[in-house]
Amino acid sequence: MKKTKTISRRAFFGQSSAASLVVLASQKVSQAKPINVPREQVAGSAIEQKVDAIIARMTLEEKIQMVHGERLTGFIGYVPAIPRLGIPELTLTDGPAGIRHGPGTAFPAPVALAASWDRALAESYGAAMGAEAKAKGQNILLAPMVNIVRVPEGGRNFETFGEDPYLTAQIATADIKGIQSQGVIAEVKHYAANNQEKQRLTVSAEVDERTLREIYLPAFEAAVKEARVGSVMAAYNKVNGTHSSENTHLLKDILKNEWGFDGFAVSDWGATHSTIAAANNGLDMEMPTGEFFGAKLSEAVKTGQVSEATINDKVRRILRIMMRFGFFDRPAAIGPIDYNVQAQVGRRVAEAGVVLLKNEGSLLPLDLNRLKSIAIIGAYVDRATSGGGGSARMSPLYTISPLGAITQRVGERIAVKFVRFVPGNDLSKSDPATTGAALIADTVKIAKSCDLAIVFARDFETEGDDRANIDLPDEQDQMITAVLGANKRTIVVLNTGAIVLLNKWVDSAPAVIQAWYPGQDDGNVIADVLFGVVNPSGKLPLTFPRARQDVAVSSPEQYPGVSGKGQYSEGIFIGYRHFDKHKIDPIFPFGHGLSYTTFAYSNLKLSRTQIKAGEPLTVEVVVKNTGRRQGAEVVQLYIQDLEASVERPIKELKGFEKVRLKPGQSQLIKFGLNDRSLAFYDPAHKRWVVEPGQFQVMVGSSSRDIRLTTTFSVT
Ligand code: BGC
């Protein structure tokens, strides 16, 4: 029995007013008031009693209706209400770069948020999304995505928080707290090891337990334990041969039993492959339909292959979270939203995420009084790079292109000449490409004729499709090389969702900016950084390699995999862990990012130089702004176990703080280290282990710019 009933419900597609904007330099942007969501689940509590009372009144058919979606036009995911029992509907939407329910705020890509290394901003980003989801009548947001960047070509890398599990966990936790503060359930995704788009529905991530625990699971673990996330999305891929949506080890052993997750696990859209295995192994809800969890599940209960207690557990998990979030008193409803506030949050995140990769001779920031002409060259300089494609794609209410913003900023005083390249991605189909030798000649002429050139390059990343390689697409490398040859004063601005190879021209480029996908205010954000209205403070959440083969995942067995298996043979050594281990110099290391000011580090101190395993340790350091501008520094703390009995990374990020300092100002920064900061996962004994011996503490401005070190010992 496949239900085909149509459900009538008014779909809402946003207000389409163009938001005007006021920039609030470094103020906290305020959101709608947080809603008080009880965090802890207490057995026998009022919520549990109410849920049990409802379940006792439910028919099997009603229970089955709760555990799968129904197609409803205008909705990404929908579970109908059961009015007889007062159970409201569930409305699910994407996530994670905006609310994909009609036009809305196109926030910067999550990778830009990660590049801000700013927990408070991550909470604002989440709260803004929660507020917009709620205003659009949506009560579950399919975000954040916390998969670790493993494959540089990965089509969804722009949706992630980068290559490091600690940074990802920290940003994700704050983001989820923000979303859920608005009474909207966050659905953290995609559990687990969902690291490539090639063969994404069938590939099996062959990954050992230690690597899973140390690299691919910590952000999910933090989402459950620290952010109390309401829902988890099971991934498309298999893990060690079993589909994520029917993987007992992932869903039952780890998520529910070990971490104590009391919310519900939902399959990615079309990622359910069975009825009995999925139901018995821990999946709570099938999306977007009831192919396996509809009539077939009902039948399986009747024949005893799935117990009614198992169904009750699923329904209990769903109802408990719905009740915890207040949905019974406050069903999904359309409400007002201030798109100006939303825009401010997006813009602040995008600005904080811009990474100044290179700035020789302090070419930046630009002084408008000393320029007569600027050449603006590049791919679609007259269109914004608001975001990537797939389920994270937004229809922005407005966009600001780099050309538009810069032209407006410089006014009549400065001549702006521009050349518009058309890269061959899908956008070009409606617009015949003007590429080749003639265009390069034109570009050179214009670049030569101006005081300064700004050259923009971009890529287009999307779900469902990995990039063919990590070169800049089309003739953009040639374009950049030509401009650099024509004008020594050239700034390269990158709008890419992840790493690209820069080796063809980077050594001759005096200034390079990584702006990611900044969302609807793309042009404004970049202009603010170019002209010094914003002092860049982003740091790379990814290692930029000199060559593709420098990356850990470089064989076909590893990616895309052979015979349907992707071998995670690099183990825990991905990203900077791999570059450190093999002593490879990247072009730009993990954690790298310059500022228009400078910072000095001093007085590294530990609360103790000897601790017993399990005892906390405090690390202190003083950071001073030694330049002439106000700026922010991300102080990074890395740890190395110097006497480990197993192979451990040379550096692992275990703390960071972003501090804003006026010129001459100093600040004492404190980091707390705990057991977990020092531990590795021991699969044989199924536990985290801190071994006695010496540990090194490294504090610095990037993973390859360590300013101070010290050691302590664990007895
Ligand atoms: C994606 C999810 C997304 C879902 C609903 C799937 O294809 O993998 O990330 O939330 O679609 O749009």
CATH number of 599-714: 2.40.160.40, 3.40.50.450, 2.60.40.10, 3.10.20.30?
Answer: 2.60.40.10
What is the chain's mean pLDDT, rounded?
92
Least trusted range by pLDDT, from 2-11, 113-122, 494-503, 548-557: 2-11
Counting from 1 in the atom list of ligand 1, the atom nearest the Cα of 288 is: 5
Phi-psi region of 686 (alpha: psi -120 to 50; beta: other; left: phi over 0): left
CB 674 within 8 A of CB 657: no
The domain covering 45-69+77-324 belongs, at the CATH homologous superfamily level, to: Glycoside hydrolase, family 3, N-terminal domain (3.20.20.300)
Determine if ligand 1 sits within 6 Å of the CB of residue 641.
no
Query: Is 268 tagged catalytic?
Result: yes
- Sequence-ordered list of residues with C-beta below 8 angstroms from that of 163, at least 6 positions apart, any chain: 148, 149, 150, 541, 542, 543, 574, 575, 576, 590
**pLDDT class of 350 with cuts at 50, 70, 90:** very high
Measured between alpha carbons, how far is 294 from 561 in angstroms, rounded to an integer?
Answer: 34
Share of residues in the chain with pLDDT > 70 (%) = 92
Mean pLDDT, rounded, for 375-392: 91
Cis peptide before 95, with omega less than 30 degrees from 0?
yes
What is the pLDDT, as a whole number, of residue 127?
Answer: 97
Q: Angle, nearest 10°, between helix axes 476-486 and 437-449?
A: 30
**Under CATH, which architecture does the 348-581 domain have?**
3-Layer(aba) Sandwich (3.40)
Q: Say if ligand 1 is within 6 A of residue 558 CB.
A: no
State how beta strands 452-458 and 693-702 pair. unpaired
Q: For residue range 102-120, what is the model confidence (pLDDT) as tens digits?
A: 999 999 999 999 999 999 9
Indicate if ligand 1 lies below 6 Å from the C-beta of 197: no
What's the confidence (pLDDT) of residue 425? 45
Distance CA 254, CA 247 (A): 10
Query: What does the chain come to in residues?
Result: 715
pLDDT tens digits for range 2-38:
333 333 333 222 222 223 222 222 334 545 566 665 5
Pick from 69, 66, 2: nearest CA to 272: 69
45/43: higher pLDDT:
45
Confidence of residue 43 (pLDDT cuts 50, 70, 90): low
Helix H, strand E, coil C: the string for 536-593 is CCCCCCCCECCCHHHCCCCCCCCCCCECCEEECCCCCCCCHHHHHHCCCCCCECCCCC
**How far does the centroid of ligand 1 lie from the alpha carbon of residue 158, in Å?**
14
Written as one string, the DSSP assignment of 251-278 is IIIIIIIIS---SEEEE-TT----SHHH
State how far the Cα of 343 lies from the Cα of 190, in Å rounded to an integer. Answer: 27
State pLDDT tens for residues 511-523.
999 999 999 999 9
Ligand 1 site-directed mutation target among 203, 463, 466, most atoms within 8 Å of CB:
463
In this structure, the number of other CB atoms found within 10 A of the CB of residue 394 comes to 21
Question: Ligand 1 centroid to 97 CA: how many Å?
Answer: 12
pLDDT score at 44: 65
pLDDT digits (tens, 9 = 90+) for 609-623: 999 988 999 999 999
pLDDT digits (tens, 9 = 90+) for 118-136: 999 999 999 999 999 999 9
Between residues 637 and 412, the one the model is more confident about: 637
Tell me whether domains 45-69+77-324 and 599-714 share a fold.
no
- Is 189's C-beta closer than 6 angstroms to any atom of ligand 1? yes
The residue whose C-alpha atom lies closest to atom 11 belonging to ligand 1 is 269
Cβ 404 under 6 angstroms from ligand 1 = no
Residues 310-315, mean pLDDT to the nearest whole number? 98
76 lines ligand 1 (CB under 6 A): yes
**Global confidence as pTM:** 0.94
pLDDT above 60 for 426: no
Domain spans of the chain, in order of start: 45-69+77-324, 348-581, 599-714
Residue 602 pLDDT > 80: yes
Catalytic residue among 94, 268, 284, 528: 268
pLDDT digits (tens, 9 = 90+) for 627-674: 999 999 999 999 999 999 999 999 999 999 999 999 999 999 999 999
Name which of 425, 422, 423, 487 is nearest 454 in CA terms. 487
The answer, yes or no, to whether residue 450 has pLDDT greater than 70, is yes
pLDDT at 26: 34
**211 contacts 151 by C-beta, under 8 angstroms:** no
